[in-house]
Amino acid sequence: MIKFIIIAIAVIVLGKICINLFVQWMLYHPSRTVEFMPQEFGLKSEDIYFSSSNGLKLNGLFFPAPDARMTMILFHGNAENVGDRLDFIKMLVDLGLNVFYFDYQGYGRSQGNPTEQGTYEDGLAAYGYVRSRADVDPERIVFYGRSLGGGIAIDVAARTGCYRLITEGAFASIKEMAKGFVPVIPFQYTVADKYNNVKKIAALRMPYLIIHGTEDGTVPFSHGKKLFDAANDPKEFYPVENAGHNDVHVVADKAFWVKISGFLDL
């Protein structure tokens, strides 16, 4: 009996280690290679270096829009950096938004290695930088978080507030995600409670738009609904029919930009 208990404990401990290593791998896929440059999309930008609270140097791009009515901070996904989704940024600038697009620790030209707390600190540093600019109205800063970036945007919004919050393809929590990857119930409870977005949403009071593709194979559509159910008013849920995790604005096409414009009162 004692031997069985020892073996069971060893299996659980080993399982916990393996599962949390898997979660760490799943969360972050940083690339140092910046594939595309803003000028390839006809975009003007400023190459910005700023510091996170731990002293690491971070990199971002500031895209100014003529007569901008507000400024958006874009929190990217776990396998992206500032060389990705520049077509998306072009549309935002064309709508009349300044955009600040930055890399977390370990991504692109930002120093360090990504961690949960580190990404939150990076988000706070990005917000502080944007607020410090003379050409930015600090009362009209919008957060847009995609996938992993949704959790970072939610955390920073809960701490600082913002004018509007948008998340796209965000998950409820890593524990909720683990249920889909780890069907064995005892091991689900060994997963570290990272990016508990659904819990933090209770602290939010700004208008919140939740976007999710109905055919998202990375973050199930049910996560978007859980975030919406947990959010306070005013809130909107925008399900994009037949869209996956990375093609929401492409599948929705013009309707996507109509929704963004309407939510931001542009």
Neighbours of 27 (CB within 10 A): 18
- pLDDT at position 62: 98
CA distance 129 to 54: 15
CB 244 within 8 A of CB 213: yes
Which whole number is the average pLDDT over 135-142? 97
> Is the pLDDT confidence value at 8 over 50?
no
Contacts of 9 (CB under 8 A, 6+ apart): none
> Is the pLDDT confidence value at 183 over 80?
no
CB 172 within 8 A of CB 150: no
Nearest to 149 by CA among 93, 62, 73: 73
Catalytic residue of the set 103, 155, 216, 249 = 216
- 184-213 as b/e: b if 16+ CB within 10 A: eeebbebbeebbbbbebbeebeebbbbbbb
Residue 247 burial by Cβ neighbours in a 10 Å radius (0-12, 13-18, 19+): middle
Summarize pLDDT for 105-118 with one digit per residue, the tens.
999 999 999 999 99
Summarize pLDDT for 223-248 with one digit per residue, the tens.
999 999 999 999 999 999 999 999 99
- pLDDT at position 156: 98
Give the total number of structural domains in the chain. Answer: 1
Which whole number is the average pLDDT over 252-261? 97
Q: What's the pLDDT band for 157 if we cut at 50, 70, 90?
A: very high
Is residue 245 annotated as a catalytic residue, yes or no?
yes
Catalytic residue of the set 147, 155, 212, 249 = 147
Domain that holds residue 237: 2-29+38-264
Polymer length in residues for the chain? 266
The pTM (predicted TM-score) of the whole model is 0.90
Catalytic residue of the set 76, 212, 223, 245 = 245
Residue 254: CATH number of its domain: 3.40.50.1820
- pLDDT at position 23: 55
> Is the pLDDT confidence value at 179 over 90?
no
* Straight-line distance from the first to the last Cα atom of the chain, in angstroms, rounded to the nearest whole number: 69
- pLDDT at position 10: 43
Summarize pLDDT for 184-228 with one digit per residue, the tens.
555 555 566 689 999 999 999 999 999 999 999 999 999 999 999
Residue 51 burial by Cβ neighbours in a 10 Å radius (0-12, 13-18, 19+): middle
Is residue 155 annotated as a catalytic residue, yes or no?
no
Average pLDDT over the chain reads: 89
CB 58 within 8 A of CB 50: yes
> Is the pLDDT confidence value at 22 over 70?
no
> Is the pLDDT confidence value at 61 over 70?
yes
Q: What's the pLDDT band for 27 if we cut at 50, 70, 90?
A: confident
> Is the pLDDT confidence value at 45 over 60?
yes
